[in-house]
Amino acid sequence: MFSTWEIILLQLINGLISGSFYALIALGYTMVYGIIKLLNFAHGDIYMAGAFVCLVVFGFLSPNIPGWPGIALSIFAAMILVGILGWLVQRFAYRPLLGAPRLTLLITAIGVSLVINNAVMVFTRGQPSFFQSGLDAMAGVSFGNIRITYIQIVLLVTAAALMLALTFFIGRTMLGKAMRAIALDKDTCRLMGINVYKVIGVTFIIGSMLAAIAGGMACVYYGNVQYTMGYMMGIKAFTAAVIGGIGSIPGAMLGGLLLGLLEAFGTQLFGSEWDAAFAFGFLILMLIFRPNGLMGKSEIERM
pLDDT, tens digit, 9 for 90 and up, residues 100-135: 888 899 999 999 999 999 999 999 998 999 998 888
pLDDT score, position 170: 93
**Of the segments 5-9, 63-67, 81-85, 139-143, which one has the largest average pLDDT value?**
81-85
**What domains sit in the chain, N to C, each tagged with a CATH number?**
4-289 (1.10.3470)
Provide the residue type at 24 as one letter.
L
How does strand 146-149 pair with strand 224-225? unpaired
Q: pLDDT digit string (tens) for 1-37?
A: 678 888 888 899 999 999 999 999 999 999 999 898 8
Provide the residue type at 155 as one letter.
L
Residue 43's nearest CA partner among 77, 90, 81, 91 is 90
In Å, what is the CA distance from 108 to each residue of 46, 101, 208?
A: 15, 11, 17
Residues 180, 13: Cα–Cα separation, whole Å: 33
Please, which pLDDT band fits residue 90 given cuts at 50, 70 and 90? very high
Residues 184, 176: Cα–Cα separation, whole Å: 13
pLDDT at 302 > cutoff 60: no
Do the beta carbons of residue 244 and residue 252 sit within 8 Å?
yes
Please, which pLDDT band fits residue 96 given cuts at 50, 70 and 90? very high
Please, which pLDDT band fits residue 303 given cuts at 50, 70 and 90? very low
Residues 175, 47: Cα–Cα separation, whole Å: 24
pLDDT at 294 > cutoff 60: yes
pLDDT score, position 247: 86
Provide the residue type at 300 as one letter.
I
User: What is the DSSP annotation of the chain?
Assistant: ---HHHHHHHHHHHHHHHHHHHHHHHHHHHHHHHHH----TTHHHHHHHHHHHHHHHHHHHTTTS-HHHHHHHHHHHHHHHHHHHHHHHIIIIIGGGTTS-HHHHHHHHHHHHHHHHHHHHHHHTT--EE------TT-EEEETTEEEEHHHHHHHHHHHHHHHHHHHHHHHSHHHHHHHHHHH-HHHHHHTT--HHHHHHHHHHHHHHHHHHHHHHHHHHH-EE-TTHHHHHHHHHHHHHHHH-TT-HHHHHHHHHHHHHHHHHHHHHH-GGGHHHHHHHHHHHHHHH-TT-SS--------
